[in-house]
Amino acid sequence: MIASEEAILQVTPEIKYLDHSVLNLQLPDESTRLLFGDLVEVRDLVSAELTPGGPLGTVGVAAAEDVAAAREVAREDLMLWRPLLDQIDYFEYAKFHVIRGHLLLDGSGRLETDLSFDALARVEERRTWLRGEVTATWDAGPPLLVGGPPTWSIVGWRSGDLKTMSVDRPLCAEVLDHVL
């Protein structure tokens, strides 16, 4: 358990770079491409239903490929979440969070992390909330310094459920200044 927690702490800063990548409407973008291994086993989104013209609270779904459809993609050819990102004008907010993770018991030295994704996007002048899940598999590489922690790269990316909700105004407002 302690080894898994240490590994999660080591990859957490790398996950923050993915936030910036998504804000650039590319996953990965050029600054995060090296976070991925030479070959990545991918199960990606095949469609994304955004409902910018619907009434408040209209829910959409992004569909992921069937598990059997997982394929290996070279790092330089990697373009994740295109059905989603191609529809978005820009993100007001986008962030990945670690839900849980564990080292695989197969002796490979790999770490599997379940990530959540939360975002507020602009699509055709309307706001769309997004919430989804991803399972990222990390491979431990050689440390940069003798005795240091390993370098980690993503060698597996399995997109899970991604739900969207159309909103015409923020669902919450900051009111602290008005109260005081």
Asked which of 27-31, 77-81, 162-166 is least confident by mean pLDDT, the reply is 162-166
Nearest Cα to Cα of residue 16 among 91, 94, 88: 94
Residue-number span of the structural domain to which 151 is assigned = 2-179
Higher pLDDT, 172 or 25: 25
- CA–CA separation, 128 vs 92, rounded Å? 10
Q: What is the pLDDT of residue 164?
A: 83
- Give me the pLDDT at residue 137, please: 97
Q: How far is the C-alpha of 67 from the C-alpha of 84, rounded, in Å?
A: 19
85-119 per-position pLDDT tens digit: 999 999 999 999 999 999 988 877 899 999 999 99
Query: Do 155 and 111 contact (CB within 8 A), yes or no?
Result: no
- What are the percentages of helix, strand and coil residues in the chain, rounded to 5? 20, 45, 30
Q: Which of 77, 70, 74, 99 is nearest to 12 (CA)?
A: 99
Tally of structural domains, the chain: 1
User: Residue 107: enclosing H or E segment and its boundaries?
Assistant: none
Amino acid at site 25: L
Residue 52, pLDDT > 60, answer no
Across 7-33, average pLDDT: 94
Length of the chain: 180
User: Residue 34, Cα to own-chain centre: how many angstroms?
Assistant: 16
Alpha-carbon span 38 to 94, nearest angstrom: 26
Contact assessment for residue 133 and residue 43, using Cβ atoms and an 8 Å cutoff: no
Amino acid (one-letter) located at 3: A
Q: For position 95, what pLDDT does the model report?
A: 97
| CATH number of the domain where residue 173 is located | 3.10.450.50
Mean pLDDT, all residues of the chain? 86
Provide φ and ψ at 83, rounded to 5°.
Answer: -60, -30
Global pTM reads 0.84
54-91 residue pLDDT tens: 565 666 666 666 555 789 999 999 999 998 999 999 99
Local structure of residue 149 (DSSP, 8 states): P
